[in-house]
Amino acid sequence: MRDRGSESGGSSGESECERAAGERGQLVLAAAAVVAVALAPVVMAYLQLGYHADVTASEQFDAPGRNAERLLSRAVHDAATGVPAEYAWDEREEAVAAVRNDLRPRLDSLRSSRVESGTVYQIEYNRTAAQAWRRTNCPAGPNRQFGYCEARRGVVVQERAGETHVLAVAFDVRVTTDDSELELTTVVSALG
């Protein structure tokens, strides 16, 4: 160990750069200590209020909601696939009825899928969300690429080359478990 008091200016074993680096290191260490002390009350408040448990519960509860959205996405895509070849634009009400009929067994299956484990799904069509989706996603005016869009009974359809194309279906989903309930509105695009 060296005695700094006995070192002279030019013959010092410790250069000015080494001394500056040591001081910077001490400054960084002191700053880290200040940040740690400042964050301690926040961490304590977080733990005392119990947010950590709520995060776990919400992640576990969101899984049934994500499962419902995934199943609805597949079901809508499958139900919409054959519609253009079968229904002209003037048969759009029949196309909507066909889509809803095709979705019925899938929705019934989802409604009863997890009842024995304490999870209940309630699914309804949402006409208002379908109308809002149509207003947002279907351009109006003479410069649009395709024909008119309509939202009928929760199903959004569009005229393309005289045929009815299904664009989206809107649902209200309520998932109830033993200790919580989740409500969500989802508009599932049929286009992929």
pLDDT digits over 143-182, tens only?
777 888 999 999 999 999 999 999 999 999 998 888 888 8
* Residue carrying the six token digits 């049929």: 190
Q: Using 50, 70 and 90 to split pLDDT, how confident is the model at 54?
A: very low
> Tokens for 116?
């024995």
HEC secondary structure over 144-162: CCCCCEEEECCEEEEEECC
Ramachandran angles phi, psi of 191, nearest 5°:
-85, 0
State the Cα–Cα distance between residues 23 and 156, nearest whole angstrom.
67
**Model confidence at 104: pLDDT above 70:** yes
Contact partners, residue 93, CB within 8 Å, separation at least 6:
152
Tell me which of 131 and 144 has the higher pLDDT. 131
Ramachandran angles phi, psi of 125, nearest 5°:
-75, 145
* pLDDT at res. 90: 95
- What is the longest distance spanned by two Cα atoms in the chain? 101
Specify whether the CB–CB gap between 166 and 157 falls below 8 A.
yes
Question: Above pLDDT 90, what percent of the chain?
Answer: 42
Q: Is the pTM of this model over 0.85?
A: no
3-state SS assignment for residue 97:
helix
State the Cα–Cα distance between residues 81 and 167, nearest whole angstrom.
10
State the Cα–Cα distance between residues 146 and 149, nearest whole angstrom.
9
Counting other chains too, the contacts that 139-147 makes at CB distance below 8 Å and 24 or more residues apart are: 147/89
Average pLDDT in the 31-58 region? 62
